[in-house]
Amino acid sequence: MNADERRSNWKSLLRFETLLIAVLMIEWFVFARTGTNFATQGNLLEILKFSVEIGLLALGMTPVILTGGIDLSVGSLLGLCAVCFGKLWRDAGLAWPVAAGLTLCIGALAGGLNALLITRLRLPPLIVTLGSFSLFRGLAEALTQGVDNFTSFPSDFLAYGQGYYGVIPAQVPVFAVAAVAVWLLVHRTTFGRSFRAIGFAPEGARYAGLPVERRLALAYVLSGTVAALAALIYVARVGQAKADAGTGYELLAITAVVLGGTSIFGGIGTVQGTLLGVATLAVLKNGLQLSDQPSELAGILTGALLLVVLTGEAAAKKFSARRIRSAILPAKPNSTT
Amino acid sequence: MSKEIRNPNPDKKHGPTDSDFGLRASFGLRNSAFGFLSRHFRELSVAVALCVLLLVLAAAAPAFFGKQQLLTTLTTAAPVLIAACGMTLVIICRQIDISIGSQFAVCSVIAGLMAKAGWPMPVVALGVVASGALMGSFNGMCVAALGLPSIVVTLATMVTWREALRWWREGEFVKYLPKGFQWFGFNQAAGQAMILAGAALVFVLLVLAMKHLAAGRFVYAVGSDKEAARLAGIHPQGVTFGVFVVMGALTGLAALLNAIRFADIDPKTGTGLELQTIAAVVVGGVAISGGRGHLWGTLAGVLLLSCIAPALVFLKMPAQWEKVIQGAIILLAVAADGWRSRRNGKRR
């Protein structure tokens, strides 16, 4: 085994996912001691159940951030889709599967609006989705006049958010399918490769012959559709659809994605990292709750964790860049000062 | 250690007036009316939109221009304007700060507690501005010294400050403030005048500083091209740090001027302020990619967006449409930009 090989082994161990798994294990170890009923099968499944919506949003956000973009509108879109679903089911009198299908279409359309502005007019995603963040939430409030609340959904719909298959919460299989699908898309298809290529260098991707606009549009439409799916699961779990559903979820999703090692500048990141990020946040929240700690501590620790992890990554990058530079340029001229 | 060549063309002497960092229009129309129009297209179009809105209001609901109503609208907008000025600097410097809503809340509570502790108002004001600057300097340190992306750093500090405040105060209002706190102890009219004067003073000072002080030009330089700015002898890290400190200090001031309007202080205040100010700045034509934009545009953006809510009330439209209209204005403004740059791109 030569030195290069050893170094690459060492490096693959130092990957971001390993760091996150270590954090998760520390969390698990601490909370198993301090929390009542933390390390039980039931609680594990509860954590899963409550992280499905954020997890879905984070899954949809991953391709977007991989392309170097961002989607601030998903939380608002969740609210809008929840309200639309309620309207379609109660006021338009549609059967709930039809209403659910139409809601997914609305999510895709809303994502398409973002995509249209970003790709056709070449506008910065941060600004476009900031605008649609306001627009979608506003539409949700306008549709309900700010007060309307949709309740008493049919029980076979609610079963998707409150029911169990044996011990497994009903929404977990949906989440698993979505996770596998996004993983396949990002890691096993040319689409995923082109997301990264665009994130690294949009112009370079264009010169390489990639249809940059269409790939970007796909990422945003996917994010919108997934937000609609999250809205359906949210409504099924909570049993009501109000205009303020999902407020602040976009930031939680972004936090999870960034914590999962995806670079906010695009080009670098994995779906399994995102899933670990979601798990880290969910376990932290649940563990603190069961340890009788104030819920605010979860927020503070989330922020701190984000900063620490990023600083560590930045320091590691600086370190490795210096090593690469010293490897490429071994002999420095000593004559000049 | 090899030294970098800082001046690739040593024969040419660079005078201080050789570069204005590309702000001069290159087609020689700088002094003509058309040049002014085309350079300030965005600021002017927002101002025109504002005028149209005001004219519609004048025709349909003259009560909007009643003295008390107008004063209320403007005093509500004044703190937003101060924060938006800071945000303008941050965005021109090609950074972003989404933690100001939380900073605003923390500063408001600190203002109330200091006043309750019996400190005189000038000391309270200084203390609030200083605590804002301190929080801003933390962001600045992470962004400038550690090189972390500002959107993630401020996302983290946003959550941290907000939750820390909730933990500390448990959602409790700051009540029973001393008499000298609300409106600085004057009557309402004088207090409102002071808020407006404070905002106007900050705005004018910043406009002058951005145009005439070297530090102001440095912000533009670092925002347009960090590396070029470094080669020109500017310290980009220092400028970035400074911009975040100014942002924090202005947030503190905005929080104080907002807090003195009420009899007690809500710890949840300032939620969504970051998006409100970013929206105003963007509508005002400041490029999110840094290096371009004017404070005048921000002023027009703030005024336009803060007129919508009262306008809806006076036009007897449901208030729930406010966010829809805000979002539509943001999207329209940036879409107009996109169309314009595409057309210009084709012509060239």
Segment B306-316 mean pLDDT = 87
Q: Chains A and B: how many Cβ contacts under 8 Å?
A: 154
How much of chain B exceeds pLDDT 90, in percent?
48
Segment B113-129 mean pLDDT = 93
DSSP A292: T
Q: pLDDT at position A196, please? A: 94
Does B228 score more than 50 pLDDT? yes
Query: Which one is predicted more confidently, B26 or B244?
Result: B244
Residues A94, A72 contacting (CB under 8 angstroms): no
AA identity, residue B130: A
Q: Annotate A101-152 with DSSP letters as a single string.
A: HHHHHHHHHHHHHHHHHHHHS---HHHHHHHHHHHHHHHHHHHHTTT--B--
Tell me whether residues B156 and A141 touch, CB distance under 8 A: no
Q: pLDDT at position A115, please? A: 96
Q: pLDDT at position B347, please? A: 47
Ramachandran region, residue B32 (left: φ > 0; alpha: ψ -120 to 50; beta: rest): beta
Q: pLDDT at position A14, please? A: 58
Residue to test with chain A: of B94, B143, B152, B237, most A Cβ within 10 A:
B152
3-state secondary structure (DSSP) of residue B135: helix
Residues of B in contact with A125 (CB under 8 A): none
> What would the two tokens of residue B233 be?
């002898």
Residue partners of A305: CB distance under 8 A and separation at least 6: A23, A259, A280, A284
Q: How far does the CA of residue A76 sit from the closest CA of chain B (Å)? A: 11
Nearest residue, CB atoms, A302 vs list B159, B166, B334: B159
Tell me whether residues A121 and B334 touch, CB distance under 8 A: yes
Residues of chain A with pLDDT under 70: 1-15, 328-337
Residues of B in contact with A127 (CB under 8 A): 282, 288, 330, 334
> What would the two tokens of residue B56 be?
């519609």
AA identity, residue B66: G
Buried b (16+ CB within 10 A) or exposed e, A267-287: bbbbbbbbbbbbbbbbbbbbb
Q: pLDDT at position B318, please? A: 83
Residue to test with chain A: of B322, B323, B325, B340, most A Cβ within 10 A:
B323
Q: How far does the CA of residue B311 sit from the closest CA of chain A (Å)? A: 16
Q: Which of A57, A105, A113 lies closest to A81, judged by CA?
A: A105
Q: pLDDT at position A220, please? A: 97
Nearest residue, CB atoms, B152 vs list A121, A306, A337: A306
Residues of A in contact with B106 (CB under 8 A): none
Q: pLDDT at position B161, please? A: 93
* Residue linked to tokens 């990264």: A196
Q: pLDDT at position B77, please? A: 95
Segment B315-323 mean pLDDT = 83
Query: Which one is predicted more confidently, B289 or B38?
Result: B289
Residue to test with chain B: of A80, A134, A136, most B Cβ within 10 A:
A134
Q: What is the distance between the alpha carbons of residues B338 and A130, in angstroms, rounded to a whole number?
A: 16
Q: pLDDT tens for residues B28-50?
A: 445 566 777 777 778 888 899 89
Q: pLDDT at position B25, please? A: 46
Q: pLDDT at position A331, please? A: 54
Segment B249-253 mean pLDDT = 97
Q: pLDDT at position A5, please? A: 57
ipTM of the complex: 0.78
Q: pLDDT at position B312, please? A: 87
Q: pLDDT at position B12, please? A: 52
Residue partners of A28: CB distance under 8 A and separation at least 6: A39, A283
Tell me whether residues B327 and A133 touch, CB distance under 8 A: yes
Does B27 score more than 50 pLDDT? no
Q: Is A209 exposed, middle or buried (0-12, 13-18, 19+ CB in 10 A)?
A: exposed
Instruction: Name the average pLDDT for chain B.
Output: 86
pLDDT bin (cut points 50, 70, 90) of residue B109 is very high
Q: pLDDT at position B28, please? A: 47
Q: pLDDT tens for residues B136-187?
A: 999 999 999 988 889 889 988 988 999 899 888 888 888 888 888 888 888 8
pLDDT bin (cut points 50, 70, 90) of residue B302 is very high
* Predicted TM-score (pTM) of this structure: 0.83
Q: pLDDT at position B308, please? A: 87
Q: What is the distance between the alpha carbons of residues B297 and B284, in angstroms, rounded to a whole number?
A: 4
Tell me whether residues B156 and A306 touch, CB distance under 8 A: yes
Q: Which of A201, A234, A204, A212 lies closest to A68, judged by CA?
A: A201
